[in-house]
Structure 1
Amino acid sequence: MTLIDALNWRYAAKRMTGAKVPPAQLERILEAVRLAPSSYGLQPYSVLVIEDPALRERIRPLAFDQPQITQASHLLVFAAWASVSAAEVDDFLRLTAATRGQPLAELAGYREAILGTVQGFPTEEARFQWASRQAYLALGTALAAAATERVDASPMEGFDPAALDQLLGLEARGLRSTALLALGYRDSEADRHAGLAKVRWPRERLFIPLPAG
């Protein structure tokens, strides 16, 4: 199965069966998230993996009662760093040096480049929005990875971020919720969207070729 086949198969399931995603498949999806690209490779976010049904029952009212929250096998919460400081950058550079077996001093220029970006935003909110965009790269990777595993994945922005942050204690972790992703299996009989033709702009509307020169 090609990636294109997988993307044609997937859709944002509105009803799920409650069946569990096998651990091996879940781990492959999570590993794809771990390998997702981000600016400088910094990955300024964390992903909470929630399986506990009782906790998901508490989350559901905060997400406008969307049934996928409780019908899914797992709920992923993509949460961006509330602030990006020199401390986090230095942690990342120490990891980089250790992983690549190079002296930390050789990364001094890279450190200045990263700090120039993250400290160049005019406000903490602007910096958080940048971190959130990095989390969305991971979300997109998760969607593609789940499709290749034939696991349904429903992304959701429809929730109360402040209430969810409070419920999950994200402020203490230096995080703010950005997006949700329900992983599970579609309930084709209960979901009126199942089987509908995928609607996307035609190539000539979506892609704009520019002439050479």
Structure 2
Amino acid sequence: MSIIESLNWRYAAKKLNGEKVSDENVSKIIEAARLAPTSSGLQPFEMVVITNQELKEKIHKLSFNQSQVLDCSHLIVFAAWDHYSLDRINHYFDHYETERKLEKGFSDGYKNGVSKHLTALTTEQQFEHAARQVYIAFAFAMAEAAALRVDSSPMEGFLPNELDELLNFKAQGLRSVLLLPVGYRDETNDWQVHLKKVRKHTNHMVHYIK
């Protein structure tokens, strides 16, 4: 099974037509992000799925009036932990052992090593580490959307501090990282819809060492 055909189909839709994506397909897109790999399996992020039009209008103003925020079916906000705490890290290890019905999962040495490494970072470094995990999950979500023939528009262009305040993220120990509007392309008004996909040629970016 390959997703290459789907990746060739997808592009960052600039205009969406307002058609609704089924709850089933939105759930699959979210599930793909949930199943993505992350450093030490910690999954240091959360997703907020927004369909409320009034709230989308407020976020539209914070995202430099990009129309996809208004016209999307669902707006998925990816938010990373603002820091790593022992409670957060230990909660994951406890969850892991409970789910696998293990009295002992990872060794104490491994758990202590992960905790010591992450909590020794500055608060900003901790957030940046968590944010990098978001990008992995985000890519999985876009790939699943493409496989379902649902359009998406990856967005870094917004005011994160203002969005965090709007969504009360600080109180939840979160900081916004990325926006993912999902919906269906507007074939008539999106100037990019029929353009050839352009990427670097493989021999310009892949090097083999034998």
Please confirm whether the aligned pair reaches a TM-score higher than 0.5, indicating the same fold.
Answer: yes
Tell me the residue number matched to 2:155: 156
Q: 1:146 to 1:157 in 2, by over 3 A?
A: same
Aligned to 1:192: 191
Using the size of structure 2 for normalisation, the TM-score is 0.97
Change (3 A) 1:145 1:106: closer
Report the AA paired with residue 202 of structure 1. H
Partner of 1:5: 5
The answer as to whether partners of 2:62 and 2:159 remain within 8 angstroms in 1 is yes
The answer to whether residue 102 in structure 2 is matched with residue 102 in structure 1 is: yes
Question: Aligned partners of 2:2 and 2:132: how far apart in 1?
Answer: 27
**1:156 alignment partner, SS class:** coil
Partner of 2:83: 83
Change (3 A) 1:9 1:17: same
Cα distance in structure 2, aligned partners of 1:200 and 1:160: 29
- The residue identity in structure 2 corresponding to 1:166 is E
Deviation of the 1:113 alpha carbon: 2.6
For 2:20, the equivalent position in structure 1 comes to 20
Which consecutive segments of 4 or more residues in structure 1 shift more than 2 A? 104-107
Answer whether contact 1:146 1:152 (CA < 8 A) is retained: yes
CA distance 1:168–1:203, shift in 2 (3 Å): same
Structure 1 portions without partners, runs of 5+? none
**What amino acid is the match of 1:170?**
F
Q: What is aligned with 2:134?
A: 135
Structure 1 counterpart SS, 2:154: strand
Question: Residues of 1 paired with 2:208 and 2:120: CA distance?
Answer: 33
Identical-residue share of aligned pairs (%): 42
Match of 1:169 in 2: 168
Structure 1 residue 119: deviation in Å?
A: 2.0
Distance 1:106 1:69, change over 3 A: closer
Change (3 A) 1:148 1:81: same
In structure 1, what residue type is equivalent to 2:35? L
After TM superposition, give the deviation of residue 116 of structure 1 in Å.
2.9
Deviation readout 1:140-189 (Å, 9 max, x if unpaired)? 00010100000001100000000000111100110000010010000011
Distance in 2 of aligned mates of 1:139 and 1:60: 20
- Contact 1:93–1:104 (CA under 8 A) maintained in structure 2: no
Equivalent position SS for 1:75:
strand
Q: Specify the alignment match of 2:117 in structure 1.
A: 117
Q: Deviation digits for residues 25-44 of structure 1, max 9, x if unmatched?
A: 11111111110110011011
1:59 matched residue in structure 2: 59
* Aligned counterparts of 2:82 and 2:139: Cα–Cα separation in 1: 21
Equivalent residues in 2 for 1:29-68, closer than 5 Å = 29-68=29-68
Distance 1:7 1:191 in 2: 19
Paired with 1:90 and 1:130, the residues of 2 have a C-alpha distance of: 18
Equivalent residues, number: 210
Partner SS, residue 77 of structure 1: strand
Instruction: Please report the RMSD computed on the Cα atoms of aligned residues, expressed in angstroms.
Output: 1.2
